[in-house]
Chain A
């Protein structure tokens, strides 16, 4: 009786990694971190002391690129050499299964590096016949297996034993079909697009949705760029900022009135009251390359003198994706969060906070 109640009261394990650096530093790893987080479902940024969106940012948002949803696509189509030569080897191709739960069903993901990661349950693994390894988050009895296939490997030529075996397993032995979210980023050269390649399946193009709002009389914490841990009475720590930001994005009331029993969150002290702040949220299947562009534009926001001391950019990953950063396995125990948050200051110093949930490796 007491054990389940205790589990309800305990917060699930979560990790928050905070880093600080300067945007124009030669060894700054902000671009590397953004690129290694492949699947992003939601991007939001908050600019204090801003009433209207600057033109440059607006153009980046409209140009964020579209993504495709293909229904009932067999997995063996992603392993054919035609697909590999057309999309995987030329540019970065991202694919993720849609509407599959990572802890219950089978899921698959294609990384831009050319690796196909299939996360399967025990029965499917025993029937599929492809060599994989057990998941890191299984207890005594393994219920989940991860199969990794490197499509750009030289041993994966057509008519090689490896390719034949993979094709046989995915086509004849145990055909797997999923709904896929697809996107392709090619560096300049135009080739056939995904739309024309998958015209036989029901492919639909979608645009990411953007919502804009202006918040009035918002209490913002005071931050000093070189004090990550905050100083008493002078600035707030990175963790307090993280929680405050989450409250603002989810429109949680930060008044902490005595009669309100919903939340006791309040803005961390010291804080200032800001007349207006601009909050923009974009949802969809967003590529890391576009996020880097957005980050650059936010840095350029500070080219002209502005009232704001800092701006924030938050990126959420998919809760059901098989990988979080690079190839680290991602699981869903009580919440499948894997997100990161940039705080860019006026002098182009930045703080980067990466947060993951229970069944996850530490972010790089």
Chain B
């Protein structure tokens, strides 16, 4: 449709309207002269610039790249894990005698870890090894506690969570003892170690990688 407007005028129509159609060259010269006269301030280059047709972008739609879908890890949330009760010890199995072999295994494991546990071994080395060792199966006693009713509880550690120990006592009772504000003592072949629970609030798996710093007081 625009071709009709921009095409050359046919000579008959020009004669009728009494127009003199200009050639393309003359037309360009006329346009530039007209522009120069009407905009005397603008320079020649600026006028030429305006004549070169530039496309004006009216709308630019970016087609977003669809993010790749995150693959959900195969696992359960803490609530579902608790409901499934994977880590509960059933009442029939809550017998102290059943866990004594576990304790023997643990003792063996610690002895291997410390290369023998000779009487002349340095306590420092045993300490550093124990810090990273797994404590499932150890017999612990609560020696000092901010709450006096926890003092004196002795038993084998069944499970170690981030903030608590689950212990089974000689009377076949499963006790849950918080680590905070408690001091536990561990005894093995004559080496007695004290664990300050307030500084020990880590999952057993994370503890093996953690560097312990002496920060704060050990006062309860």
A-side residues, CB < 8 A to B, are 123, 125-132, 168-169, 173
- Report yes or no: B152 in contact with A132, Cβ–Cβ below 8 A: no
> Does B144 count as interface, using CB distance less than 8 angstroms?
yes
> Does B203 count as interface, using CB distance less than 8 angstroms?
no
> Does B180 count as interface, using CB distance less than 8 angstroms?
no
> Does B148 count as interface, using CB distance less than 8 angstroms?
yes
Contact partners of B148 in chain A: CB under 8 A? 125-126, 128-132
Number of residue pairs spanning A and B whose beta carbons lie under 8 angstroms apart: 27
Assembled-state Cα–Cα distance A126/B220 (Å)? 8
Contact partners of B146 in chain A: CB under 8 A? 126
- Report yes or no: A127 in contact with B151, Cβ–Cβ below 8 A: yes
> Does B149 count as interface, using CB distance less than 8 angstroms?
yes
Closest to A132 in B: B148
- Report yes or no: A131 in contact with B149, Cβ–Cβ below 8 A: yes
Name B144's contact: one of A126, A132, A169 (CB within 8 Å): A126
CB A13 to nearest CB in B, in angstroms, measures 30
- Contacting A at CB under 8 A, from B86-145, are 143-145
Given contacts A127-B143, A131-B149, 5 further A-B contacts (CB under 8 A): A129-B148, A129-B149, A129-B152, A131-B148, A173-B151
B interface residues, how many (CB within 8 angstroms): 9
Closest 3 CB pairs of A and B: A129-B151, A126-B144, A129-B148
Contact partners of B151 in chain A: CB under 8 A? 126-129, 169, 173
- Contacting A at CB under 8 A, from B26-46, are none
Assembled-state Cα–Cα distance A123/B219 (Å)? 9
Contact partners of B144 in chain A: CB under 8 A? 123, 126-127
- Contacting A at CB under 8 A, from B198-220, are 220
- Residue of B143, B148, B149 with most chain A CB atoms under a 10 A cut-off: B148
- Report yes or no: A168 in contact with B152, Cβ–Cβ below 8 A: yes
Assembled-state Cα–Cα distance A129/B146 (Å)? 9
Contact partners of B143 in chain A: CB under 8 A? 127
Assembled-state Cα–Cα distance A231/B57 (Å)? 108
Contact partners of B149 in chain A: CB under 8 A? 129, 131
Closest to A172 in B: B152
Assembled-state Cα–Cα distance A123/B146 (Å)? 9
CB B36 to nearest CB in A, in angstroms, measures 90
CB B91 to nearest CB in A, in angstroms, measures 23
Assembled-state Cα–Cα distance A132/B148 (Å)? 8
Assembled-state Cα–Cα distance A169/B145 (Å)? 14
Assembled-state Cα–Cα distance A129/B183 (Å)? 13
Assembled-state Cα–Cα distance A125/B152 (Å)? 13
- Report yes or no: A173 in contact with B220, Cβ–Cβ below 8 A: no
Contact partners of A130 in chain B: CB under 8 A? 148
List 7 A–B pairs whose Cβ atoms lie within 8 Å, in order of A's numbering.
Answer: A126-B144, A127-B151, A128-B148, A128-B151, A129-B149, A131-B148, A169-B152
Closest to A131 in B: B148
CB A193 to nearest CB in B, in angstroms, measures 36
Closest to A130 in B: B148
CB B205 to nearest CB in A, in angstroms, measures 30
Contact partners of A131 in chain B: CB under 8 A? 148-149
CB A113 to nearest CB in B, in angstroms, measures 24
Assembled-state Cα–Cα distance A359/B53 (Å)? 97
- Residue of A126, A127, A130, A131 with most chain B CB atoms under a 10 A cut-off: A126
- Residue of B143, B144, B146, B151 with most chain A CB atoms under a 10 A cut-off: B151
Assembled-state Cα–Cα distance A131/B148 (Å)? 6
Contact partners of A127 in chain B: CB under 8 A? 143-144, 151
CB A352 to nearest CB in B, in angstroms, measures 40
Assembled-state Cα–Cα distance A247/B148 (Å)? 48
- Residue of A125, A127, A169, A173 with most chain B CB atoms under a 10 A cut-off: A127
Contact partners of A125 in chain B: CB under 8 A? 148
CB A281 to nearest CB in B, in angstroms, measures 43
Name B152's contact: one of A123, A126, A173 (CB within 8 Å): A173
Contact partners of A123 in chain B: CB under 8 A? 144
Assembled-state Cα–Cα distance A252/B220 (Å)? 49
Assembled-state Cα–Cα distance A128/B146 (Å)? 11
Contact partners of A173 in chain B: CB under 8 A? 151-152
Assembled-state Cα–Cα distance A129/B220 (Å)? 14
Closest to A168 in B: B152
CB B4 to nearest CB in A, in angstroms, measures 96
CB A84 to nearest CB in B, in angstroms, measures 23
Assembled-state Cα–Cα distance A171/B145 (Å)? 18
- Residue of B144, B145, B146 with most chain A CB atoms under a 10 A cut-off: B144
Assembled-state Cα–Cα distance A131/B145 (Å)? 11
Contact partners of A126 in chain B: CB under 8 A? 144-146, 148, 151, 220
CB B147 to nearest CB in A, in angstroms, measures 9
CB B48 to nearest CB in A, in angstroms, measures 85
Assembled-state Cα–Cα distance A254/B43 (Å)? 118
Assembled-state Cα–Cα distance A127/B183 (Å)? 10
